[in-house]
Amino acid sequence: MPRLRLVNKAAAVAALTTIVSGVGAASVGAASGTPTKATSGPLGSSCAPASLKTVKAGEITIGVDDPLYQPWFASNNPKTGKGFEDAVDYAIAGELGYPRSATAFTRVTFDDAIQPGPKSFDYDLDEFTITTARAKEVDFSAPYYTVAQAVVGLKGSAAAKSHTLAAVRKLQLGAQVGTTSYSVITNQIKPVRAPRVYNDNNDAEAALQDGQIQGLVMDLPTAFEVTTGEVKGTTIIGQLPLAGQPSSFGALLDKGSPLTTCVSKAVVALKANGTLAKLQTKWLARVGKAPELK
Amino acid sequence: MTYPVQVVAPQDVVLPPVSDIELGRRRYRRDRAVRSTAVAAVSTLLFAFVVAFGLSRAPGWSRIQQSFFDFSLAKKSFHPILDGLWLNLRVLAVSEVCILALALLVAGLRTVQGAVFFPVRVLATAYVDFFRGLPLIILLYLIGFGVPGLRFSWLPNNPTVLGTIALVLCYGAYVAEVFRSGIQSVHPSQRAAAASIGLTYMQSMRLVILPQAIRRVVPPLLNDFVALQKDVGLISVLGAIDAVRQAQILQAQYFNFTPYVVAGLMFVVLAIPTGRVADAAAARARRREQSGSLV
């Protein structure tokens, strides 16, 4: 599995660069006499496995949705490390000092992830868009990806020729429930007809093919995944301007989780050393440019 | 031959004065009533206090309060959810009328007599078996996404219409069984009597059997109506935004479950009148059919 190894290498390179550049407090931890095993993280002793209060001691538990979709995960199996969020999951764990063997996954539905009770995971990357309203109920890490929203339509349909925001406004639009895509329809596009909402994108795609909706709004990477593979005969009508819309994905943690600062630090470090950019080119390579709707 | 009948006009009846013993009984009953009301009030208050105290002692109470009972979010989500509820009510009204008509038809076909109607009975039974057994959500998918896939231009392609059709098919099967039980509960002698005075099958059905049958099944019909009130919202899987779906949208937007509580309370409020009507109908039936047999 060459791809797997590549991810590991990326994480290792990331870890190495942080230590070498002396960003982390690892040297401080070593100086103060903390036993530094191979598992001690590059972010310093306060963010090392020994001092992190994880759900299961000595192990990091990552929440993942069920089912998982490309390009964020591959073949509904988070253990592969394939897919952008899967790779970032492992990279964050690596940054915190957890080797692959100490990284576990647990399936978490959307409702389960945001409910107020105790969480079964330490962090969860599942295309959660960071907003201030949501941050009142859960903790978010620093953003790991900025995403644009796109409108998908049927190839050759009249809707596919809508090149302006004004034209898209007249379409019957739909989106998956609970997504930023839906908020974007109501807050940014403000369509003439009330949008339709579906349990998931599979249902929404069925509605698109049945002609019940003319435009399906989804995030750009998913839109590329859908139009270039999953659903035949679909095309990206255009992407929506980013300005003024919440568009950053963050790792979700329990409100007041003791890990939030460390996971955030890990994301910042991964961004600073270019790991995130690398993983993005690797796993979101299909994401090209779509014409912007103005 | 005539029998002498003695008619006593009510005003002629003079009741004897109420005895002291009876007055004493009445006083005793009144005292007991006051006492039991007081006991009920105290025990209710005590129970409420224990529940409230227990909840407030829960370590996660403040989180729960924030996540489920956020008043400002409840206010904010009230109107959007009410808009969604308006869709529920419209679909409920249309589908209930169609369900009653379809169910009555199916029940009639299932109970029709005569060897020649065997295929009709089989078809009606098959319909009931199939649509009562099929989970509503799967039926919704089959009708909502499957039927338009046929691409006949004359077929409806509106998710609300398709969802209503699915609801009617599913609930029609349940309610048909309720009607059938009512029809079969009418004693066969009624039908025989109807036939003996020269009524045709349809006439005896319309004038003799159904009036009795329907009266008997009003409580279970209202029960199914309340169930339908809540199941109407399931059509939202096809894309229409009903009250629960709107609550879900707000929940995902704010990561807060308060909108669900708001929607839930709306449905409870909606179900209360139906419950009272059901109680009244049951009481009326009891009065009529069991008069003189106070238990």
Burial track B89-105 (b if 16+ CB lie within 10 A, e otherwise): eebbebbbebbbebbbe
The helix (H) or strand (E) run that includes residue B219 is: helix B210-231
Question: Can you tell me the distance from the alpha carbon of B276 to that of B267, in angstroms, rounded to the nearest whole number?
Answer: 15
Would you tell me how many other CB atoms lie within 10 Å of the CB of residue B281?
15
Q: State the pLDDT confidence band at A118, using cuts at 50, 70 and 90.
A: confident
User: The domain B70-290: what is its CATH number?
Assistant: 1.10.3720.10
What is the tens place of the pLDDT at every residue in A122-166?
999 988 999 888 888 899 999 999 888 999 999 888 888 888 888
Answer whether residue A59 shows pLDDT above 60.
yes
Question: Does A136 sit within 8 Å of B255, measured CB to CB?
Answer: yes
CB A279 within 8 A of CB A73: no
Answer whether residue A188 shows pLDDT above 80.
yes
Q: Which residue has the tokens 């708001």?
A: B262
Angle at B163 between CA B161 and CA B169, to 5 degrees: 105
pLDDT of residue A113: 87
The tally of CA atoms less than 13 A away on the side-chain side of residue B175 is: 28
Question: Does A199 sit within 8 Å of B159, measured CB to CB?
Answer: no
Question: Does A194 sit within 8 Å of B241, measured CB to CB?
Answer: yes
pTM: 0.74
Answer whether residue A19 shows pLDDT above 90.
no
Question: Can you tell me the distance from the alpha carbon of A184 to that of A199, in angstroms, rounded to the nearest whole number?
Answer: 17
Q: CA quadruple A183, A184, A187, A191: dihedral positive or negative?
A: negative
Question: Can you tell me the distance from the alpha carbon of A88 to that of A279, in angstroms, rounded to the nearest whole number?
Answer: 8
* CA distance to partner chain A, nearest, from residue B181 (Å): 38
Question: Does A133 sit within 8 Å of B248, measured CB to CB?
Answer: no
* CA distance to partner chain B, nearest, from residue A238 (Å): 22
- Chain A residues with CB inside 8 Å of B245's CB? 177, 197
Domains of chain A and any CATH numbers: 9-147+246-283 (3.40.190.10), 149-239 (3.40.190.10)
pLDDT of residue A20: 36
Structure tokens at A204: 């929404």
Answer whether residue A167 shows pLDDT above 70.
yes
> Considering chain A, what percentage of its residues have pLDDT values greater than 70?
86
Question: Can you tell me the distance from the alpha carbon of A251 to that of A88, in angstroms, rounded to the nearest whole number?
Answer: 10
Q: What is the ipTM of this complex?
A: 0.70
Answer whether residue A34 shows pLDDT above 80.
no
φ, ψ (nearest 5 deg) of residue A175: -160, 170
* CA distance to partner chain B, nearest, from residue A15 (Å): 34
Encode chain B (295 residues) as per-residue pLDDT tens digits.
Answer: 556 666 556 666 777 888 899 899 999 999 999 999 999 999 999 999 999 888 888 888 888 888 889 898 999 999 999 999 999 999 999 999 999 999 999 999 999 888 899 999 999 999 999 999 999 999 999 998 888 877 777 878 888 999 999 999 999 999 999 999 999 999 999 999 999 999 999 999 999 999 999 988 988 998 899 899 989 989 998 988 899 999 999 998 888 899 999 999 999 998 888 888 878 877 887 787 776 554 4
Task: Say how many CB pairs under 8 Å bridge A and B.
Answer: 86
Question: Does B239 sit within 8 Å of A212, measured CB to CB?
Answer: yes
Angle at B110 between CA B109 and CA B113, to 5 degrees: 80
Mean pLDDT of A113-124: 88
Burial of A40 (0-12, 13-18, 19+ CB in 10 A): buried
User: For residue B112, how far is the Cα from the chain centroid?
Assistant: 27
Mean pLDDT, rounded, of chain A: 81
Question: Can you tell me the distance from the alpha carbon of B77 to that of B278, in angstroms, rounded to the nearest whole number?
Answer: 31
CB B138 within 8 A of CB A199: no
Of A178, A195, A255, which has the smallest distance from its Cβ to B252's Cβ? A178
- C-alpha distance from residue B88 to each of A65, A187, B81, B230 (Å): 30, 25, 11, 9
Alpha helices (runs of H) in B112-209, residue ranges in sequence order: 118-133, 136-141, 159-185, 188-196, 201-204
Q: Tell me which chain B residue has its CA closest to the CA of residue A246.
A: B253
Question: Can you tell me the distance from the alpha carbon of A166 to that of A173, in angstroms, rounded to the nearest whole number?
Answer: 13
Answer whether residue A68 shows pLDDT above 60.
yes
pLDDT of residue A176: 92
Alpha helices (runs of H) in B58-158, residue ranges in sequence order: 61-68, 71-111, 118-133, 136-141
Alpha helices (runs of H) in B20-70, residue ranges in sequence order: 20-57, 61-68
SS3 content of chain A, % helix, strand, coil (to 5): 40, 20, 40
